[in-house]
Amino acid sequence: MPIVSAFCKKGGVGKTTFIGFMAHCYSSAGKKVLIISVDDQNSIFKVFGVEDKIFNANDNYLEFLLANHKDLGDILIEARENLYLIKTLNSDKLSLKLTLERSQEKILKKILEEYNSYFDYILIDFPPSSSRLSEVLLDLSDVILLVIGLDSLGLGGFFNTIQYFIDNDIDIEGIKYIVPNGYSRNRRAPRISLEKLEKQAKEFTPKAIVLPALQERSVIKNLQSEGISPFDDIKMASSYDQTAKEALLEDLKEIFSHITL
Ligand SMILES: Nc1ncnc2c1ncn2[C@@H]1O[C@H](COP(=O)(O)OP(=O)(O)OP(=O)(O)O)[C@@H](O)[C@H]1O
Ligand SMILES: [Mg+2]
């Protein structure tokens, strides 16, 4: 089963949110899903309200697996039924002795191949910053989702990412889908940004499919502050939020129906 990555060389564009929702969509349909956080903020834990698990133990990070100090079972954290998370240090300072060496790159590849028999999908949440671990994992990804924020700053993430791929010899054709995020019918800027993005994609990533844009929805922040995913069967306290949650769920199902893995 494929390794799917959410990436953009720009912060705060919705990578973690999108990959988290996607993971929960698959796991709630009965698939076994693993999300590896390559971001040392491990913010994917917040999407599922399990941030207490980030600091609950100091020896269950991805790096301990790579250094052969731990087994998969020791570091998996269950976020929902069929949905597991792995956290990372991925910081040169913290992982001093555990930084990715050449031999560990090979281990990582072997591990991911092995995991493929346990999980239906392996999804990876990346930070916008560069690291050797990110580059190796981008290389190993079957499908890269490039998440782009629909404002002038977010749009810059498109070229930053292309440049980063070229500089680090990562295959641009790995980008199979582009995810425009933060669309709003009532505002001019996101509409224009979406048009520009479609043009840029046609020219620089012609094989990538531009997905229907995810709307800007304030309920996403409310859900995340409560650790609830739109795929959770939980009613929101406010009926306004509940209606928005249901609308978001429909949006997401429509977007995910365009993704073939
Ligand atoms: N469509 C949306 N509408 C409204 N808010 C959103 C939307 N998508 C994401 N957000 C909010 O924007 C913020 C940033 O999202 P997220 O953490 O997913 O971005 P990121 O690209 O992973 O950031 P980082 O680069 O820091 O990892 C979060 O507070 C999230 O709730
Ligand atoms: Mg993130």
Query: Which pLDDT does position 241 carry in this prediction?
Result: 96
Ligand nearest to the CA of residue 7, numbered in listed order: 1
Q: How far apart are CA 102 and CA 93, in angstroms?
A: 18
Ligand nearest to the CA of residue 181, numbered in listed order: 1
Cα(234) to centroid(ligand 2), Å: 24
Non-local CB neighbours of 108 within 8 Å, separated by 6+ positions: 66, 100, 136, 137, 140
Q: How far apart are CA 39 and CA 7, in angstroms?
A: 11
Query: Which pLDDT does position 91 carry in this prediction?
Result: 62
Of 16, 45, 51, 229, the residue with max ligand 1 atoms within 8 A of its CB, to mutate for a pocket test, comes to 16
Place of tokens 């009926």: 239
Cα(7) to centroid(ligand 2), Å: 9
Residue 182, φ and ψ in degrees, nearest 5? 95, 35
User: For atom 15 of ligand 1, which residue has the closest CA?
Assistant: 14
Tell me the whole-structure pTM to 2 decimals.
Answer: 0.95
Query: Which pLDDT does position 95 carry in this prediction?
Result: 46
Residue 6, φ and ψ in degrees, nearest 5? -105, 120
Residue 175: which of 209, 131, 129, 200 has the closest Cα? 209
Cα(4) to centroid(ligand 2), Å: 15
* Contact assessment for residue 222 and residue 228, using Cβ atoms and an 8 Å cutoff: no
Query: Which pLDDT does position 96 carry in this prediction?
Result: 44
Residue ranges of domains in the chain, CATH in brackets:
3-256 (3.40.50.300)
Ligand 1 atom at shortest distance from the alpha carbon of 216 = 3
Query: Which pLDDT does position 23 carry in this prediction?
Result: 98
* Contact assessment for residue 149 and residue 181, using Cβ atoms and an 8 Å cutoff: yes
Cα(100) to centroid(ligand 1), Å: 28
Ligand 1 atom at shortest distance from the alpha carbon of 127 = 27
* Cα dihedral across residues 71, 74, 77, 81: positive or negative: positive
Name the residue type at position 136.
V
> Digits of tens for pLDDT over the chain (261 positions)?
799 999 999 999 999 999 999 999 999 999 999 999 999 999 999 999 999 999 999 889 998 888 888 999 999 999 999 999 999 987 654 444 445 666 777 888 888 888 888 999 999 999 998 888 889 899 999 999 999 999 988 999 999 999 999 999 999 999 999 999 999 989 999 999 999 999 999 999 999 999 999 999 999 999 999 999 999 999 999 999 999 999 999 999 999 999 999
Query: Which pLDDT does position 60 carry in this prediction?
Result: 92
Q: How far apart are CA 211 and CA 229, in angstroms?
A: 21
